[in-house]
Chains A and B, each alone.
Chain A
């Protein structure tokens, strides 16, 4: 059974700092991994999608990497801003049941 873990559960950083959010998964048989952002009381916004054959994806200040063999993904945020404050969720799409399993998220707070 696929399990997705995100570390840390919460993170507070000063504005301008570069930071890394971690996601690990137990079963490497995946189709893809997706990073989402969730603002309080809102739905999820997709940030980056990495297919199983890819190693990384970039969008603006965000870079996500995928190491399927070790069951790890990282989301790198460069030059963090207060507007980046949100919960970041990692989600893994299994090859088995076509379900997507979500991690519990990392709550990020960027201080001005």
Chain B
């Protein structure tokens, strides 16, 4: 596609429910990243995928968070048993490979009530 697409754009969920966020990277981009941005704060790295290599999960804040990516296509970020502290904008970015610049999606705004 022309850009990085994220869905849904907004998600309101009840505490304790599971949510799944989706990211469609730019076609041909082998690197994909997930970041979290809490209100008024900077970007917090979550996870990085590069081609078929094992992902770098070092930024995932707890075992409630997981992400998958099939090959060089769509990625899903799953948050289980959501907590109010999970409320944030979740941003996905892709890159041609790990040394090129990023293109970001518009993000998913998650609100846990």
Point out the residue from B41, B48, B93, B106 that lies within 8 Å of A98, measured CB to CB: B48
Point out the residue from A31, A45, A99, A105 that lies within 8 Å of B104, measured CB to CB: A45
Q: How many A-B residue pairs have CB under 8 A?
A: 54
Point out the residue from B31, B91, B101 that lies within 8 Å of A49, measured CB to CB: B101
Q: How many residues of A contact B (CB 8 A)?
A: 23
B50 interface residue per 8 A CB criterion:
yes
B65 interface residue per 8 A CB criterion:
no
Q: B106 near A32 (CB under 8 angstroms)?
A: no
Contacts of B104 in A (CB 8 A): 36, 43-46
B107 interface residue per 8 A CB criterion:
yes
Q: How far is the CB of A45 from chain B (nearest CB, A)?
A: 7
Q: Which of B45, B50, B105 has the most CB of A within 10 A?
A: B45
B 24-66 contacts with A by CB, 8 A: 31, 33, 35, 41-43, 45, 48, 50, 56, 58
Q: A34 near B102 (CB under 8 angstroms)?
A: yes
Contacts of B35 in A (CB 8 A): 102
Interface size grouping (class) on chain B: 20 to 34
CA distance A74 to B58 in the complex (A): 30
Contacts of B45 in A (CB 8 A): 99-101
Tell me the nearest residue of chain B to A6, going by C-beta: B42
CA distance A105 to B43 in the complex (A): 10
Q: Which of A46, A89, A103 has the most CB of B within 10 A?
A: A46
Given A42-B106, A44-B91, A105-B42, A99–B48 Cβ distance below 8 Å?
yes
